[in-house]
Amino acid sequence: MLISTIELTSILNNSNVIIADTRSFKEYSEGHIPGAVNLDLFAFHWIDTTKEGITNFNNQSQTLLSFLGVTPEKKVIFYDAVSGMLAARGVWMLMYFSHPHVSMLDGGITKWKKENLPLETKPNGFQPSTFSGKINSDIISGFEYIRDNLDNLKILDARSTSEYDGTTIRAAQSGHIPTSINIDWNQNLTEDGTFKNDEELFQMYNIPKDTEIVTYCQGAYRAANTFLVLKKLGFKNVRVYLGSWGEWGNRLDLPVEK
C-alpha cells in the first residue's frame, strides 16, 4: 500500500499508472509530480451511513473513480503533502472497491521536493473510464453496526485529544463514541511526514491481531490513515466508520461519552 519516491520515479512514464494529487487545486497548480491529475478528495466527504446513504456513497464513488480513469489493470497512486489523510482516503476507497493495484506515496510531495525530484505546474487532464469494482463491505462501517456491536468492537478515535474529550466541539454533541480509545492519527507519522516503522507503530497499536477494529475521526479521512497503518501491521479485521463524528455527533439518538 506504500510506494517510495524512488519507486515512483521509475514508473512516471508508464501509461498504466494513474498518479492522483489529492490536495487542493491551488496547491496542485503551484507544483505537482509530473503527469499527476488533481482530485481534491476533501470535496467528497460523506456523513450519511443509512442504507440509502451507503448506496448513494457507492454511486458517487464509482462516478468519481470513473472520472479518475481507473480500470482493473491500472496502478493508482495517491499522494498529498505527507503520508496524509487525503491520500489514505483515496487508497481506502479503492480497497473498498477491491482494486488490487493501489498505493500511497510515503512522505508525499514534501519528501519528493526534499529529494529535488521533478515537478511541473501545467494541469493534466483526466482520461475517464467506466469503473464499477466489487464492493468489499468488510472494511466499511455505518453507525448502526457500531451501535449494535459496541461491546464487541475495539473503536479507535483518530482525532485530536481536545475533540475526543469534548473541549473542541465540531458537531451537535461533543465527546466521543462510548468505549473508544484516542490515538491521534498524527502519531502515525515521523517528523519528515513518512510513516513510522512497524516496531514504533506496534507499540502504539498494542492490540491483539484478531481484534475487530473500527476507526473513526470527524469525516473518515484521519480514520483512513489509521486504517492503512493497521493493515500495514497485519491486522485483518479493520473497518472505517464512514460517517464518523460528523454523523454520530449530530445524531441525538446515539450515545456519547466525554
Query: In terms of C-beta density within 10 A (0-12 exposed, 13-18 middle, 19 or more buried), how is residue 240 classed?
Result: buried
- What DSSP state is assigned to residue 41? G
* Amino acid at site 167: T
pLDDT of residue 147: 98
How many other CB atoms are there within 10 angstroms of residue 130's CB atom?
9
pLDDT of residue 156: 98
pLDDT of residue 71: 97
Tens-digit pLDDT profile for residues 46-88: 999 999 999 999 999 999 999 999 999 999 999 999 999 999 9
Compute the Cα dihedral for 248, 238, 109, 39 and give only its sign. negative
pLDDT of residue 77: 98
Print burial letters for 25-53: b (CB count within 10 Å at least 16), e (below 16).
eebbeeebbebbbbbbbeebebbbbeeeb
**What integer is the mean pLDDT of 14-43?**
97
Question: What percent of the chain shows pLDDT beyond 70?
Answer: 100
Q: Which of 187, 193, 197, 198 is nearest to 160 (CA)?
A: 187
Confidence of residue 36 (pLDDT cuts 50, 70, 90): very high
Q: What is the CA radius of gyration of the chain?
A: 18
pLDDT of residue 210: 93
